[in-house]
Amino acid sequence: MLLDIWTAIRHVLIGLAVMVVVTAPWSVIAAANLHLSPQVPWAIPLGLIHLYLVVTYLSGRGWPTTTGDIRRRHFRARLLSGAESCWSSLAGVLAITCLWLLYAASGHLGSEPSPGRESALPSAILFMFVLVSSAVTAVGEEGALRGFLQTPLERRFGPSAAIAASSVAFVLIHATRGLPVLARAAPFYLATGVVYGLLAYLTQSILPALVLHFLGDVLAFGLRSSLIRLSGPATGTATTLCIVGAVVAGGLSIVAFRQLARVAASTRTFRVSDGLGGRGDR
């Protein structure tokens, strides 16, 4: 029992450490750029170089070579088959659309915090910052939580416990936005974490969740920076339409997830029976 608890804690800490390594440097240089010379986006190329290097390392390259295979398997950025890509994209988009519609119906989507100094940037530069911030956040959180945290926990405790652990961690890391925001959005973050975790487990790859996470963060960062503007919280007829749309999208996502589970299972069987497990995970 104590060994299991320590194992879980150790993988949670490793996952959080990976997330910090991926995201913290960008946070520092982006903040410095906005403070010192906001009209010259020198942080953009530095952030992209750092992201490339850290993804390369987590994918198994670099020193020490003895940990390369472990890093690759835990990061699990496995390319998917065509059928897996189609069904995971459909299931994920429908599920996240359902959650965004419910969030809008609750009246919170149009009440994002006031934008900071970045809102004064030219639109082109602001858009670049939003894209790089979204990419760094998506890679950092998916690689850490659905990769290095969830992957070993799936093998040790099963998928349900692993997805629960990564989803709770996903909620808690958003406490940096402030407790009022966390209290309001915690159910949304938890449900989103479950969707991402389920996609990662079924496909044994972080890539479907990473793409969805990136697109969702583009929207979220765009709202917070005023790059994307909404007139206000949904009310009346708009709220009703959001709820109806959420029900339809949620129902269809369940169907898509069931089909994804069948396709993913057959793909895993094919890789194992043909001896492609190692190469297919690269």
Domain ranges of the chain: 2-280
Amino acid residing at 6: W
Q: Quote the DSSP letter at residue 4.
A: H
Structure confidence at residue 10 (pLDDT): 93
Structure confidence at residue 183 (pLDDT): 83
CA 20 to mean position of chain CA atoms: 14
CA distance 115 to 106: 21
Q: Taking 60 as the threshold, does the pLDDT of residue 86 lie above it?
A: yes
Cα–Cα distance list, 4 to 1, 149, 152, 162 (Å): 5, 14, 12, 13
| Phi, psi angles (nearest 5°) of residue 142 | -70, -45
Mean pLDDT for 241-251 is 96
Q: Around Cβ 237, how many Cβ atoms within 10 Å?
A: 8
* 257: region left, alpha or beta (phi > 0 left; psi from -120 to 50 alpha): alpha
53's tokens: 């290097």
Residue among 99, 106, 72 at smallest CA distance from 184: 106
* Burial category of 66 from C-beta neighbours within 10 Å (exposed 0-12, middle 13-18, buried 19 and up): exposed
Residue among 267, 272, 263, 20 at smallest CA distance from 136: 20
Structure confidence at residue 279 (pLDDT): 40
CA distance 218 to 10: 31
Amino acid residing at 115: P
Q: Taking 80 as the threshold, does the pLDDT of residue 142 lie above it?
A: yes
Higher pLDDT, 180 or 80: 80
Mean pLDDT for 79-98 is 96
The answer to whether the pTM exceeds 0.85 is yes
